[in-house]
Structure 1
Amino acid sequence: MILFDTDVQELKYKVLREVVRLERMGKLADGYYDIPRTIIPGPKATMRCCIYRERAIVEERVRAAMGDGDTQGIVSVIDSACDECPVQRFSVTDACRGCLAHKCHAACPFDAISYDKHKAVIDPEKCKECGRCMKACPYHAIIEHQRPCVAGCAAKAISIDDQKKAMIDYDRCTSCGTCVAQCPFGAMVDKSFILDVVHLLNEARVNPDVHVYAVLAPAIVTQFSYAKIGQVVAGIRKLGFYRSVEAALGADVVAQKEAQELAEKGFLTSSCCPSFVRYVEVNHPDLVPFISHNVSPMVEAALLIKQSDPGAKVVFIGPCISKKMEIQLPKTQGAIDSVLTFEELQALFDGMDVQVDQLEEDPIDDASCFGRAFARSGGVTQAVRSVVEDEGLDLVLNPEICNGAESYKIALLKASKGKLGKNFIEGMSCVDGCVGGAGCLTHGLRSVAKVDTFSKEASHQHVAESVADAENTFSAEENAGS
């Protein structure tokens, strides 16, 4: 049984599944316009005011699922779905006592507050949403209704336009996907590359020289609760992937390089979270030289694969929407050919009729316990510390572990002013780390515990061991193929 956190996620899944199903049958080009009717059969609406509006919104989701290229960024707004949130940011509650001091009126520089039967009233036409009235009221009778997408965006990339619709400033957006997960009405949507993956797998089926590899984020162990991790790996192979490799192996490589770079520079921030890196670049350009120069674990794993199999195609599968942004950056060296989230992988399984829980398990054991721990907050620091100790580096690690974007905003501000007092910032945009990613099927308190258990099951208990084994394995494969 598939579990989703919200009905919005389930709707997204249904759209993706239908896109894959029609593509598999060769009917997508002519049949995609039927998907809204398939998902919203009617005659009565179940989510909105009428089935016609529901279908119009699903139509926009179909476009995103097919990788529509019209949007500027990875995340976009479905305007027709964005109108249910409160349009007036500040309002007066029944707690207003109609006092004589009128401090709220005195605090408002726009004359937006008047009185009706001694109760304060806010004129939405005059209100500029400065919030001074709320702070001035001695009874806390004025409250703020901040939209979930705005409240959840640490990058302050979302604002409200004249039509009261959300709008994204792509110069500030970090593609973290928090707004996608936060919007209760499903008005925020991320572009999917699922059809690109289907096409890669189709190419591999007709051409045995084409090998499509899956690089699996360690957070995968927290998902697909109806099956074992070995069955999920087997399901990926049944889809047509040549082989699965742990992104945690790339994390081991990153841990080695970051420990050495930190020892050289004396101060460093992590580079594995692309949303964190983007936030630093936009908001603290003075700290850019201190971002680790290493590529992310995803890219490191892919580079190992393409070193041994130069014609390989590599798909990253993980919890992260911002990886879709990262693979388009020049610094990724074209190592990753496409990205799937866990949500999209589930849709791919079902659209291709792969019954994961019926399969025999496939083994996967590429990385160390420390590489796998990258999936949770504190894992990067733990791995770097392990390398410092194993290699005897001349370094006393004094980290600032930032659990979520609101946490690293504070740490980076202090660092920019020279007041942090730490020498390593581990930055993760999602609370709890990658296990809290917007592309997850489910989130929960047990996710971190599952990653820790998965980490302990790794056969390699030291970073250097897994890196050495991987280099030997991939070198042997390269020699065998040459």
Structure 2
Amino acid sequence: MRIFDTKVQEIKYKVLCEVSKQTWEGQDSFAVFNDIASVIVGKDEPTIGCCIYKERAIVAERIRIALGGKKEDPNIVEVIDIACDECPEAGHVVTDLCRGCLAHRCKDACKLGAITHDHKQKAKIDKSKCVECGKCAAVCPYNAINNFIRPCERACKAKAIHMGETGAAAIDSDKCTSCGSCVYKCPFGAAVDKSFIVDAINIIKESRKNPGFEVYAIMAPAIASQFKYASFGQIITAMKKVGFDVVMETALGADMVAVQEAEEVIEKGFLTTSCCPAFVKYIENNYPELVDKVSQNLSPMAQLGKYIKEKDPTAKVIFVGPCTAKKAEMKKETVSPYIDCVLTFEEIQALIDSMNINIENLEETVLDEASNFGRQFALSGGVANAVKEAIAELAEQQGPESEAAKFELNPILCDGIDKCKTVLMQASKGVLKNNLIEGMACSGGCIGGAGCLTHGEKNKDAILKYSEKATSNRIIKD
């Protein structure tokens, strides 16, 4: 039984699974749309929409996004308009708690004449005049006026989502960080991240031709917290059965980055980490004066991809992780030469199941390439701890008179855009006392990513146990 946080994730998984099956068989998913739709929406099953036909129209949109979505749309996240029509109008609304009092403090507080009262003295808000200042809500003695915010808007701390002309959510490309918070929080599954699962399958199929090439799967350390019904070693075995020739830990790339960022912060004196692409994008969008403070090193994903391709230029590298923003990162000029495709944990689950692989019955494959520090990159605080350890190891190598030995790291951690915003504001004004900002867009770090199967406190414990199993407790390899 597959475990997901929500029914929305389950439906998304079913679509990805069916699209994968058709792709393995060489079928066009739209050509066999009825076959897929009948699996997702049965004829006699109740639906969450108004009718079965609307549900199948939504399935068609989900298939389109599973096939890569609109090529002309730069966003990684797309909104399915016909699925995004269940939320009431956002903004201040008068609820049933209104008692029709005589004081009319709400009306007096509104200087724009947006509030009127009916014959029962119940308040009404004229949206054509209201500017959402909230003064009426502040003075209501019954707390009867509520500021309703759509779940996707509330989830988007970058303020990239607004109501479009049709009433459906719209995404501002100039503000979006591709973090995927709206994808996870939308209760109707209207916000969906583009999938490259078909690209991954085609890469694997192409590799089997003669002459072939090796396909690498590089696994983000957060994966150790995801598959509750199977061990980490069984997941690795399943990946090889899917068709990946080599499976590696992205935590090895994290070890490499930790050393590079240690050297960089020693040289520059102040640095923000660059491991989280959504955090970096948020800086670029909102704090351009801090862009030169962002680490110039590649992320662990890109660094490991570079390492692999330098050894084998013909190799194809597919990253598997919790992060929708990695899909945007792989398109950057500095990253695209090293990463050929990105899949989330949701997508790798569907990919494995599309081949009817029974993970629970597989033998374990041992993977032990990275340090315990590299594996903890999945958690808030993991990058800073690794950089601190790397500085200590550099000082040990270079001697007591080295710059590394003299440098005192003073990091500050921020997970979630709200926390990042506070710290970045201080840094932009020159009042931050710390010399390293570890920034992660998702709460808790990568284990809070939108592409995770599950979220929760137990995921942190799973990563800590996974890191403890690492043979190496040193970042710099001999």
Q: What's the CA shift string for 1:198-247, capped at 9, x where partnerless?
A: 00100112236310000100001011111111110011011111101111
Q: Please state how far the C-alpha of 1:61 moved relative to its aligned partner.
A: 0.2
The answer to whether 1:84 aligns with 2:104 is no
Q: Could you tell me which amino acid in structure 1 is paired with residue 107 of structure 2?
A: H
Which residue number corresponds to residue 172 of structure 1? 175
Structure 2 residue matching 1:213: 3-state secondary structure: strand
Structure 1 residue matching 2:68: 3-state secondary structure: coil
- Pairing of 1:8-407 with structure 2 (within 5 A): 8-28=8-28, 30-32=31-33, 34-68=35-69, 69-116=71-118, 117-207=120-210, 209-392=212-395, 393=404, 394-407=406-419
The answer to whether 1:417 aligns with 2:419 is no
Q: What's the CA shift string for 1:343-378, capped at 9, x where partnerless?
A: 000110111222222211111111000000000111
Structure 1 residue matching 2:204: 3-state secondary structure: helix
Query: After the TM superposition, which of the residue ranges 69-78 and 247-256 deviates more from structure 2?
Result: 69-78
Distance 1:384 1:46 in 2: 50
Distance 2:66 2:275 in 1: 26
Q: Please state how far the C-alpha of 1:103 moved relative to its aligned partner.
A: 3.2
The one of 440, 456, 462 aligned to 1:428: 440
Structure 2 residue matching 1:76: 3-state secondary structure: strand
On the 8 A contact 1:19/1:32 being kept in 2, the answer is: no
Structure 1 residue matching 2:208: 3-state secondary structure: helix
Structure 1 residue matching 2:327: 3-state secondary structure: helix
Q: CA 1:389/1:427 → structure 2, altered by over 3 Å: closer, same or farther?
A: same
Q: Could you tell me which amino acid in structure 2 is paired with residue 3 of structure 1?
A: I
Q: What's the CA shift string for 1:257-313, capped at 9, x where partnerless?
A: 111111111111000000000000010000000000001000111111111111100
Unaligned stretches of 5+ residues in structure 2: 396-403
Calculate the TM-score normalised by the size of structure 1: 0.94
Q: Please state how far the C-alpha of 1:44 moved relative to its aligned partner.
A: 4.3
Q: Could you tell me which amino acid in structure 1 is paired with residue 73 of structure 2?
A: T
Q: What's the CA shift string for 1:152-179, capped at 9, x where partnerless?
A: 1111100012322100001110000000
Percent of residue pairs identical: 51
Distance 1:144 1:83 in 2: 19
Q: What's the CA shift string for 1:75-108, capped at 9, x where partnerless?
A: 0100001111121421223444545543322332
On the 8 A contact 1:113/1:121 being kept in 2, the answer is: yes
Distance 2:13 2:428 in 1: 41
Query: After the TM superposition, which of the residue ranges 447-456 and 132-141 deviates more from structure 2?
Result: 132-141
Q: Please state how far the C-alpha of 1:70 moved relative to its aligned partner.
A: 4.2
Distance 2:18 2:97 in 1: 50
The answer to whether 1:6 aligns with 2:6 is yes
The answer to whether 1:463 aligns with 2:464 is no
Distance 1:398 1:204 in 2: 47
Q: Could you tell me which amino acid in structure 1 is paired with residue 430 of structure 2?
A: G
Which residue number corresponds to residue 399 of structure 2? none
Calculate the TM-score normalised by the size of structure 2: 0.94
RMSD: 1.5
Q: CA 1:88/1:213 → structure 2, altered by over 3 Å: closer, same or farther?
A: closer
On the 8 A contact 1:22/1:28 being kept in 2, the answer is: yes
Unaligned stretches of 5+ residues in structure 1: 469-482
Structure 1 residue matching 2:334: 3-state secondary structure: helix
Distance 2:455 2:249 in 1: 21
On the 8 A contact 1:44/1:50 being kept in 2, the answer is: no
Distance 1:36 1:132 in 2: 48
